[in-house]
Chain A
Amino acid sequence: MFTLLQIELHKIYSRPRTYIAFAAITAIVLIFQFAFKYDGQSYMDLMLQNIQDNFEIDKSKAINGYFMCYIILNTLLIQVPILVALVAADTISGEANMGTLRLMLTKPVSRTQLLLVKFLASFIFTVCLLIWMAIVALFLSLLIFGQEDMLVFRVKGEESFILQITKDDIMWRYFAAFGYAAIALTVIVALGLLLSVFAENSIGPIVATVCIVLFFTIVSNMNIPVIDRNVKPYLFTSYLVGWKGFFYIGLDSSDQPIKGSIENWPAIKKSIYILLGHIGFFLSMAIISFRKKDILS
């Protein structure tokens, strides 16, 4: 199994296409950092225009490495599923398209084993992508903008407010958030893999995965009561941004932040279980379909 995994990773990292995702992330992050370095105050003014009368905020310290990373993740973690789909949805269909799938399956390796290895390899690719994001979005931002307490802008119902997290209480939240993002993106990996099983070229499953993610994301962001109650709880896209929960710090009775706390840990836990359920479902379906599939490519 380990040898097969090595082979899969070798294949993924030998292809120039793999590095598109890393290059795209780097480019977007650098643009953000450049823009905030030279015109961050305008952004802060815009964000604070409704609430700055109630708070006294040192804007020069508000833009710091932690804050930058939060802003970047807010934007990027919606687009990253597309980058993950580029690799995951290509795993089986890409091999079928190249004609290498039939050769692989004449080797003494079971189809279940092969699919699991491809899933693992795509998962490792996703984790690498997140680690790279952490390096450029978090550590590079910390280098450029420095460390300060972090402000989190939050909208809850009709209310907008700011949460302040002290700088010594932030890093673990980022590790947890990246861990959560890894699980969330693994759902996309499993979905891409499932769709990949049914196709004999990469374009179909990649487009299908991206379309499903976009469609479900749009539905997940609709604020219509009937959809809130009956549809959203069943869509995995409703849980993709659950990582933000780690930055919603718990407040005491006098609305003061409690260091090291999370406002709603049970909700995060529930989201993780739902995402893991989706991974299990998509992966099982992929294995069942792949085992029965006639290789005609």
Chain B
Amino acid sequence: MISSMNTILQTNKLCKSFKDFKAVDNLSFQVNQGDIFGFLGQNGAGKSTTIRMLLSLIQPDSGSIEIFGMNLNTHRNEILRNVGAVIEKPDLYKYLSAYDNLKMFAKMSGIKVSKSLLMDQLELVGLASRYNSKVGTFSQGMKQRLGIAVALVHNPELIVLDEPTNGLDPQGIADIRNLILTLSRDRNKTVLVSSHLLSEIELIANRMIIIHHGKKVVEGEVKELLDPSKTILKIETGDNSKAFELLSKSNWTKGLTIIQNQIQLEITKSDIPELVHYLTAHQTDIYLIQNLHSLEDYFLKLTNPKEDVHAVTN
């Protein structure tokens, strides 16, 4: 059933607030089968909150989530049978062995557990020789690998990894990266992987989304988004609502959004003069037009705390 579908995961206008803080704001995106989908945003952008909503750990205030074509609210258990996840740190039972931890979570996933299955998983993540060691004696990297074994043990269709390389040394990061690529290429798994590092996502993902302050900034093919001829444009006009509506009807709808009273969209640099002409031809006064250069520059600007400090002190 699952293999015949193209869209594995789809969120629709997802919102979540904690008291006055809006963690996720009207977030819609989709993950297709076989994707390594990068979920990118600076710390506090709303990645973990979104991932927790995808795993039904947090209830959205509004919006909906569909996974494998089913609504998460009404088909939670059916969906989770086919999802494996590592959320932030892979915290496991320190007083139990790697084997016992894996066995326990495999049983919770509702599969038939055999010693060979568990040992195969431990072999996959390079922990077979330490199967009987207590998790309390493991390094961060080993725990992370065991966490991934727990996420994979029931052979899920969708794998959700929240910042899987956090706290790992360069070798550990490379190991996780290779594992994700292997899962996608050799096992045809769909992987959603979050990170605050564009360089990391760039290396493994084929599609990605960038979120900032809980809102989507861009979503699309990594190659296309990182194309140096493409840019993010910020526009401020005399009537942003009117300009937004005009642009919605134009060819420049990709990434079209209003953030902090400014219209943002993705555009090919060579199209900018035509866009300006289009708006002015429709009697729209343009007060500001800012080319944010490449997506990479834009993301670095978002994630560079010095820029924020600079802005505040100015």
Contact = CB atoms under 8 A, between A and B. Distances in A.
Interface of A: 3-4, 6-7, 10-11, 14-16, 98-100, 102-110, 292, 294-296
B83 interface: yes
Contact of B59 (A98, A104, A109, A294): A294
Contact of B91 (A3, A14, A103, A108): A103
B109 A107 contact: yes
- Interface residues of B, dominant DSSP: loop
Nearest to B48: A296
Contacts of A100: 91-93
Given A98-B91, A107-B80, A7 B58 contact: no
Given A103-B147, A106-B55, A106-B87, 10 more contacts: A98-B93, A102-B91, A103-B85, A103-B87, A103-B90, A103-B92, A108-B81, A108-B108, A294-B59, A295-B57
Contacts of A99: 88-89, 91
A107 B108 CA distance: 6
A89 B77 CA distance: 27
A106 B57 contact: yes
A102 B87 contact: yes
Interface string B30-57: 0000000000000000000000100111
A292 B59 contact: yes
Contacts of B80: 106-108
Contacts of A3: 107-108
A212 to B, nearest CB: 28
Contacts of B94: 98
Given A102-B87, A109-B108, A14 B95 contact: yes
Contacts of B92: 100, 103
Interface residues of B, number: 32
B76 A102 contact: no
- Across the A-B interface, give the 7 residue pairs with the lowest CB-CB distance, nearest first: A99-B91, A295-B57, A108-B77, A107-B108, A108-B80, A294-B58, A108-B81
B85 A106 contact: yes
Contacts of B52: 102, 294-296
Contacts of A10: 100, 104
B150 interface: yes
A205 B80 CA distance: 30
Contacts of A16: 95
B169 interface: no
Contacts of A296: 52, 58
27 contacts: A3-B108, A6-B107, A7-B104, A7-B108, A11-B93, A11-B104, A14-B95, A14-B96, A14-B100, A15-B95, A98-B91, A99-B89, A102-B55, A102-B91, A103-B85, A103-B105, A103-B150, A105-B56, A106-B83, A107-B108, A107-B109, A108-B78, A108-B108, A108-B109, A108-B110, A110-B76, A294-B58
Contacts of B108: 3-4, 7, 104, 107-109
